[in-house]
A and B are shown apart, each in its own frame.
Chain A
Amino acid sequence: MLVLDAGNALFKSRDSAQAPDARARAELVLSQMDAQGTAAMAVGARDLGFGVGFLRKQTRQAKLKLLSANLADAQGKLLFPASLVTTVGGVKVGVVGVSPAMAKPMPVGLAVPGQAQEQVQGLPVQPAVAAETKRLREKSKVDLVVVLAAVPHAEALQLADQVEGVDFVVQSHEGRGQGIAQRQALATVIPSGARGRELAKLVLQLEGTGRFADASLQERTRQQLRLLEGNLTRAKARLAGTQDPAEKRPLEATIARLEASRAAYQKELAGGATDAGRTHLLSYIQLGSDVPADPVVQKWVERVEPPGSAAH
């Protein structure tokens, strides 16, 4: 199992770092992500409320790695590692982080009177991801590339359409919540969920080569094939039971149409087994009231957000 975060974990908005509990909240989220085994997180626009120094300090001793292939200082020097390579269950996974592109350097962190505010810039997304993905494929020889894309949804779709070598683009930025796996020209976009309400769970079957096929679509095709075969059996039984030419003709046409559809479904399933033996299946685990709380973590949470407080 590999746990990853697509970014925008720490603050409700770019300005909410000024809230009295913002620091304690951000520290708790980061420390718990580390304690709970999150391997990497992309740095999103809503993670920069206390600036780059805060993020570095909070994760200095952590296993959690903050990633961004394109977030740079005002001089253009990258501020975080672009990627992480980790091996899980014998599978070598490359994880790339990416932040939103910015037209010009922007101030981040809290403004302190008399001090110059830290400036960062988001370099163009696509070239940064393409270069890092190429490096991971050619130098690190990874089996799988996952991009943690803390960028607008339209930009995530473009990445999945145009960057060679990427398998999955996990998107966060607008708080879109859960959704379906969206297959683009070259990769599949995965909605990350939002506001701690759910975990996105992506089960990968890694036998074979080629693009990952959506196992839920394959299952739907199997169901459609089963329904169609039932209809075909009934149509053939009706045909066998009639001698009336006026009744036989439409039945024969129906059977021909159903047989053609059956062949198409069978071809589709067979293609999935040979060209795309690798599959993915996306589901969401809801973190509702039926999921019990860890009592130790709950105490820390209640220090930040006491029971009955109007924190929202």
Chain B
Amino acid sequence: MSPRPVKLAALALLLLLPLVAGAAPKQLVLLFTGDNGGEVAPCG
């Protein structure tokens, strides 16, 4: 198994976390990605 962190895998786990702050009414959390350019793992 690779000792390196894996970006796509890290993202998968992170998105399972409860990022919605449910306490405050009328709040919305938007998460954006972009320009991934086919990356699945860290460079360098």
Contact = CB atoms under 8 A, between A and B. Distances in A.
Contact of B11 (A4, A16, A170, A199): A199
B5 A293 contact: yes
Interface stretch (A33-41, A70-78, A121-129, A260-268): A33-41
A84 B43 CA distance: 33
Interface residues of B, number: 39
Contacts of A308: 2
B40 to A, nearest CB: 5
Interface string A1-26: 11111111111110010000010011
B38 A292 contact: no
B41 A311 contact: yes
A117 interface: no
B29 A294 contact: no
A193 B6 contact: no
A146 interface: yes
A173 interface: yes
Interface stretch (A201-209, A219-227, A245-253): A201-209
A23 to B, nearest CB: 11
B1 A287 contact: no
A276 to B, nearest CB: 14
Nearest to A32: B8
Nearest to A26: B38
A203 B29 contact: yes
Given A25-B38, A196-B39, A4 B30 contact: yes
A297 B12 CA distance: 7
5 contacts: A29-B40, A193-B34, A196-B11, A201-B30, A289-B42
- Return the 8 tightest CB-CB contacts between A and B, nearest first: A192-B34, A6-B34, A172-B34, A307-B2, A293-B9, A297-B9, A294-B12, A194-B35
Given A172-B34, A194-B35, 7 more contacts: A1-B28, A8-B34, A12-B37, A32-B8, A32-B12, A93-B28, A293-B12
